[in-house]
Structure 1
Amino acid sequence: MNSEQESQFISAFQPSFDDVSLSLYETTFVVVDLETTGGSHNSAAITEIGAVKVRAGEIVGEFQTLVNPESPIPPFITVLTGITDAMVIAAPKLGEAIFSFLEFVGSSKDSVLVAHNAPFDIGFLKAACAKLEISWPSYQFLDTAKIARYVVTRDEAPNCKLSTLSTFFGATTNPDHRALSDARATVDVFHGILDRLGSYGVKTLEELKSFSSRVTSAQRSKKYLAEGLANSPGVYIFRDEAGTPLYIGTTRNLRNRVRSYFTAAETRKRIHDMISLAHSLDVIETATIIEAEVRELRLINEKQPRFNRRSKFQAKSLWIKLTKEAFPRLVAVRGATGLDDESGWAGPFNGRDESARAIEALYEVTQIRQCKPRITLSSMKSASPCALFDMKRCGAPCIGQESIDSYSSHVTAIHQSLHN
């Protein structure tokens, strides 16, 4: 989490109502979820908004609209959400959709926004308002993913993903990466969280703010580890007194990310345990986030740090990548071996079916070759083009019909799809 997300999370619990003692039961909450074309509000666009208004444990209204992003939806996003370019072509554009949503939410004095991983959704909504040159209402917001870490133990739920918490709390709607369905599931998760907060004596927004502002003594005493770091991409390594790596991470901003480990925004028990053992911090600055991610994967695979969950499963993880040859092709591989900053790659995927769907999606939007043999000058003399050439879905580099220079445009398209 960077410093902007950290401040957003803390400010989420700063009362904006005239009566800060207003009970959680009396408060009107608007649970919102967005679908987008990517992970960054600086470069991606909203494709769907879903929201559910609740008060006193009851649903009092719902809102849903597709949004025309005015740009192609990446194939990965279509595979994930099911939202296609055809579905949004006649949908409202951003301005109309945002104004309708804000009208549904109402005044910032009357409603509190709720979202799962709220900095993501709120970040996109704020960016949309900025793009439209309208003022963002000073909405107070709550993050169910963050609050859940206080009230749900690791034994009860292995993580705080929406799908996991929906199952744990018995949500009536299964999250499916569509905005309204995910918002409905988040409502059930939120109500389950509120029930648990009661056992902690949390009844009002002010009490929730106090409950969520806990910083451990270890976090306070180790804060010096975050001093003097650069605002650049890189890898960071927490080490114990013997120099053994405890935890390895990657980030776009070393200074902001490492600082977040020593704030109330960091609520994970295993990370608190790690911080209590940490004695030093090493960083590796990189030119790009992709380089940082590759270095992180290799280091985790090599060092197997005890507090990195993914280190236990790194060798089994499935990735898709471009092969290194004159005419590269897409393959699915296990583990981080062979991934580098120059190759197109993405993952991890949960299984072969998921990685195969991702590869098929890339086949649909590029003319990258689908055959397996390595293409050489010798092989071109005896090869025959497949049906894809007749269908104009492949340039037939196997018979020399397409040059390396021409084929490189397909490779570039794959890079853009995987890395953007």
Structure 2
Amino acid sequence: MSQTATTPPDGRARWESQRSFDELGRNLRDVTFCVVDLETTGGSAAAGSMITEVGAVKVRGGEVLGEFQTLVNPHLAIPPFIAVLTGITDSMVAGAPRIEQVLPQFLEFAQGCVLVAHNAPFDVGFLRHFAEQQGRPWPRFEVLDTAKLARRVVTRDEAPNCKLSSLAVLFGAGTTPNHRALSDARATVDVLHGLMGRLGNLGVHTLEELQTFSARVTSAQRRKRHLAEPLPHAPGVYLFEDDRGRVLYIGTSRDLRTRVRTYFTASETRTRMGEMVGLAASVRGIECATPLEAEVRELRLIAQHKPRYNRRSRFPERVHWVKLTREPWPRLSLVRHVLDDDADYVGPYSSKRAAERSVAALHEAFPIRQCGGRMPKVPALSACALAEMGKCLSPCNGSVAPTEYAAVVDRLRDTLLAGSEPVVASVSVRMTALAEDQRFEDAGSWRDRLVSFLRGAARTQRLRALTGCEELVAARRESTGWAVHVVRHGRLVAAGVIPSGVQAGTWVDQLRASAETVVAGPGPTPAATAEETEKILRWLESDGVRLVHVVGEWTCPVGGATKHLRVHDAVESSRASVAPFDDPRGLRPEHRPVR
């Protein structure tokens, strides 16, 4: 924000706030557009289709500044149906220049403009393809797609579709599109002006607002875009607050001002976000040294304020753990909290159902008792139903010796802490048998149980590896410098970027000295929420991170659950991508009039 002095009629100078160009955006009247259209021999440049004609119109403020048109020799036969559609024949392009000559001429014509096309991915995709083929750097054009914009503006009552011919009729274009490049470009100019005129009545006056316009963003939302102006272009956390100071929504971004603007001017189409913006009276920003610090602060603030419009991370305390008890005849149980009782825990799970599935997978591999409470002092006369099915060693009636039972529990403990093979093997046998009997739904249920166990075990093993470290300092080179994070028992306690010109080691020592003091939590629980520690782990495992200082040992088991979980996730991802479905909407308008 800059300040300017004004002198009102009373003669006393006052300072008024003058918004910068970055805050205001670029007024559409001052933007030069280059509207381009191509005719081609087919639909894919990568498949060998060639350009046969280029047409473009340069406009600014409603005035035509220049036109560009040329046929292009494709050096291959034009398919008959294309010749009929466009009227361009082989004889017409025989003496035309090649694309190697035309492309640099067009790029010079369009230099400094915003490229506009109807169905822009097609036209711009062809141009970029041939630029790459010629080894020519592609200019960093901003691109506007009138077809995409029209789908957000034009209702189905106004036009049956958003084809150029339909929109030309709707907006009374002076040129009828006829599948010739220059004519179609001229018609697109009229469509662009028609769209801009309509959106101007809705408060869209800048290029940024035009590029990101959504009909679902109301005028009331757009009128609040000034709330983003005080925020910096820096990573951090933003908090939407109502007129009573209550926090409505919390988010994070690498660029606070740019991200918050999208809630008022961009394609933020979630209904609940529109409702939230309608209630918002202010937006508060908390600038952070690094993006990771911003993500962690976001989690902590959401847990603190529990904003009504945040759906995730509001209740980190609502988790479940699978506990292997410490008692004469240990068993598995579900608990809500980890205690300092020397027991072993797996989790946390976000739902009780997921924890129960994990327990079922473990019981398939290890026949320990499933009953609650203490064992009777006098052995029971008969075994329970689970023991008769071979699913329980039945310590209640003395069927198993304490040493034999303890050996099974030790194998279970090793599986929870460092491995997963016994559970994977046992459940896989069950799934195979069910599949052979064509009981595919039951096999799928067991697969879900196995995945629940793998996710919980992998989470525990990864958390335990970091929470056991008294202190870990790591750094990574970022665009702003070396980002340094100090982590103690899984909690982020300090973050910063090393300033230029300082001694790095001394600066890191000072950062460590100023960091928060942390006491280790019981068992595998971090000194923060599991979600926070997992974010830290993802950053630590990302490319370019260097360990600066470690107090303790940070290791993960090689044969742990993560290995099997990755295989499962890869299979699921492959299965989901086998039969992709095309978008059936085509160019139909997506905006419907309010009844």
TM-score for the superposition, normalised by structure 1: 0.49
Which structure has the higher relative contact order (CA within 8 Å, separation 6+)? 1
TM-score for the superposition, normalised by structure 2: 0.35
- Rg comparison, structure with higher value: 2
